[in-house]
């Protein structure tokens, strides 16, 4: 069968703030293909600026290796996993100078896996080679509060909701005085109690300043943090490599900024990270994420998903390591904006053991709520030289 249509739907909350919260808008992708009168569709989600991602799919060609992503996708045969890999290679080559291409393709790639799973009646995790899916322990992905008291309350709430792990991040942690950061860590640990995992994400705050990062290591160790996430820029491999041996208890985590397999591999090989966190909506989809999981596991590096948005993105992000029993930590969007909850009609909820697990449902196993999408849909049109290159498709 052939890819007949790729449709993008730009969704947004009524108000967008400067919070480091990627759930305030979304870009859904619907792929349609058919054969012998049968029609199939799959859904994916791009983790990037919606308008620039749409533009990367439809923009006029600049030159031979700066072509729109759509030129490599529409009309292509899609009969098996090898076709997804083949199209990915074509996008990578023909759009290599279009820097948004990886983000745009990521959502399309997810949708192709979802479609292929529905055609074959198989969950995606089985299509990519796993025999079974193992349960994962979700951590509540939260922001530090404006004050330590707010952080304390958020930590207590996470525990009350059944989470056995929580990650706190951003909110200018690391930008000011050390004492302020220590108070935030103390509040998070107090709220979580002695048993729950405490994870810390500083959002690249120190750029490449190893010494400023190292100042926080004693406090991170004192309060039992499992990892320190993204202390530096995503490609600051030397800084990661310099900091990683300086802590015996707290491992470094990173990888959400990897836009291809090689960036993730370099963090493992040269950065010395202990946890590699991959966002399927950024790295190019499920295929390259699975390649990272296959690379990390034999090297003693734990694979973790990166997901802060919807349950469609969550399901996609779990597929690459669903069959790795020992890799159990899972980022879980614990407090997303309403659109990221409403846009799907089913969710991956923790069970009585506080764990989540992918099912045998074909494809990604997540249904799209079209009525909800209509409530958040941003009508958009892109014109060049009087020609409409994109207009919001019909649902």
Q: What is the pLDDT of residues 149-169, one digit of tens each?
A: 999 999 999 999 989 999 999
Q: In sequence order, what are the residues at sequence separation of 6 or more whose Cβ sits closer than 8 angstroms to the Cβ of residue 364?
A: 42, 43, 110, 113, 114, 117, 123, 124, 312, 315, 316, 319
In a domain, 350, yes or no: no
pLDDT tens track for 237-263: 999 999 999 988 999 999 999 999 999
d(CA 355, CA 164) in angstroms, rounded, equals 9
Per the structure, the complete domain to which residue 118 belongs is given by 2-123+370-391
Q: What is the sign of the dihedral through the CA atoms of 315, 269, 259 and 3? A: negative
Looking up tokens 């969704």 gives 11
Strand order in the sheet with 165-169: 302-305, 275-278, 251-254, 225-229, 197-201, 165-169, 137-143, 329-332
Is residue 329 located within the same domain as residue 384?
Answer: no
Pairing of strands 251-254, 225-229: parallel
Confidence of residue 3 (pLDDT cuts 50, 70, 90): very high
CATH number of residue 54's parent domain: 3.30.390.10
Would you state the pLDDT for residue 308? 85
Would you state the pLDDT for residue 219? 97
The mean-pLDDT minimum among 205-209, 229-233, 328-332, 333-337 falls in 333-337
Confidence of residue 61 (pLDDT cuts 50, 70, 90): very high
Specify the length of the chain in residues.
Answer: 395
Q: How many CA atoms, within 13 angstroms, populate the side-chain half-sphere of residue 158?
A: 32
In a domain, 363, yes or no: no
Is residue 136 located within the same domain as residue 246?
Answer: yes
68 CB neighbour count, 10 Å cutoff: 23
* Total tally of structural domains belonging to the chain: 2
d(CA 245, CA 380) in angstroms, rounded, equals 49
d(CA 130, CA 321) in angstroms, rounded, equals 9
Is residue 318 located within the same domain as residue 235?
Answer: yes
CATH number of residue 331's parent domain: 3.20.20.120
As given in the structure block, the two tokens for residue 58 are 């439809």
Q: Is 208 left (phi over 0), alpha (psi -120 to 50) or beta?
A: alpha
pTM: 0.94
Q: Are 140 and 330 in contact, with CB atoms under 8 Å apart? A: no
Confidence of residue 23 (pLDDT cuts 50, 70, 90): confident
Taking Cα atoms as reference points, which of 166, 246, 171 lies closest to residue 200? 166
Is residue 136 located within the same domain as residue 222?
Answer: yes
Is residue 385 located within the same domain as residue 291?
Answer: no
Q: What angle do CA 353, 354, 356 make, to 5 degrees?
A: 105
Looking up tokens 């045969």 gives 77
CA 96, chain centre distance (Å)? 22
Is residue 131 located within the same domain as residue 56?
Answer: no
Q: Where are the alpha helices (DSSP H) in 139-177?
A: 148-160
pLDDT higher than 90, residue 368: yes
pLDDT tens track for 315-327: 999 999 999 999 9
Is residue 17 located within the same domain as residue 96?
Answer: yes
Coarse DSSP helix, strand, coil percentages of the chain, rounded to the nearest 5 percent: 40, 20, 40
Is residue 135 located within the same domain as residue 267?
Answer: yes
In a domain, 284, yes or no: yes
Which backbone phi and psi does 86 adopt, to 5 degrees? Answer: -65, -45
Is residue 117 located within the same domain as residue 132?
Answer: no
3-state secondary structure of 219: helix
Q: Where are the alpha helices (DSSP H) in 49-171?
A: 50-58, 70-73, 81-94, 101-120, 124-127, 148-160
Confidence of residue 384 (pLDDT cuts 50, 70, 90): very high
Pairing of strands 329-332, 137-143: parallel
In a domain, 347, yes or no: no
Is residue 68 located within the same domain as residue 168?
Answer: no
pLDDT higher than 80, residue 196: yes
Mean of the per-residue pLDDT values of the chain: 95
In a domain, 362, yes or no: no
């Amino acid at each position: 069968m052939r890819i007949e249509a790729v449709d993008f739907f730009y969704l947004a909350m009524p108000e967008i703030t400067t919070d480091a919260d990627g759930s305030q808008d979304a870009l859904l992708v619907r792929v349609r293909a058919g054969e012998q009168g049968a029609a199939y569709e799959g859904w994916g989600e791009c983790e990037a600026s919606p308008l620039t991602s749409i533009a990367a799919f439809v923009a006029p060609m600049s030159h031979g290796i700066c072509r729109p992503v759509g030129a490599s996708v529409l009309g292509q045969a899609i009969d098996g996993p090898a076709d997804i890999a083949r199209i990915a290679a074509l996008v990578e080559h023909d759009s290599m100078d279009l820097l948004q291409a990886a983000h745009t393709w990521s959502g399309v790639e997810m949708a192709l896996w979802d479609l292929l799973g529905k055609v074959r009646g198989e969950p995606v995790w089985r299509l990519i080679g796993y025999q079974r899916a193992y349960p994962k322990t979700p951590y509540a992905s939260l922001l530090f509060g404006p004050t330590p008291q707010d952080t304390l309350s958020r930590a207590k709430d996470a525990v009350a909701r059944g989470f056995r792990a929580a990650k706190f991040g951003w909110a200018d942690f690391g930008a000011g005085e050390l004492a302020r950061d220590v108070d935030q860590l103390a509040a998070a640990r107090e709220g979580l109690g002695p048993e729950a995992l405490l994870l810390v994400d500083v959002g690249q705050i120190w750029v490449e300043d190893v010494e400023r990062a190292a100042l926080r290591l004693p406090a991170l160790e004192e309060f039992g943090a499992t990892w320190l996430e993204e202390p530096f820029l995503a490609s600051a491999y030397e800084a990661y490599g310099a900091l990683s041996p300086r802590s015996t208890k707290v491992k470094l985590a990173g990888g959400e900024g990897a836009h291809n397999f090689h960036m993730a591999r370099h963090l493992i090989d040269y950065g010395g990270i202990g946890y590699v966190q991959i966002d399927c909506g950024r790295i190019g989809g499920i295929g390259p994420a699975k390649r990272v999981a296959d690379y990390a596991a034999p090297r003693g590096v734990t694979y973790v998903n990166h997901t802060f948005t919807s349950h469609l993105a969550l399901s996609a992000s779990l597929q690459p390591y669903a069959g790795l029993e020992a890799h159990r930590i899972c980022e879980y969007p614990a407090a997303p904006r309403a659109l990221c909850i409403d846009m799907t009609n089913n969710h991956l909820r923790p069970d009585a053991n506080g764990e989540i697990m992918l099912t045998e449902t074909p494809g990604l196993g997540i249904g799209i709520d079209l009525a909800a999408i209509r409530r958040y849909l941003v009508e958009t049109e892109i014109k060049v030289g009087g020609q409409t290159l994109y207009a919001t498709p019909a649902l």
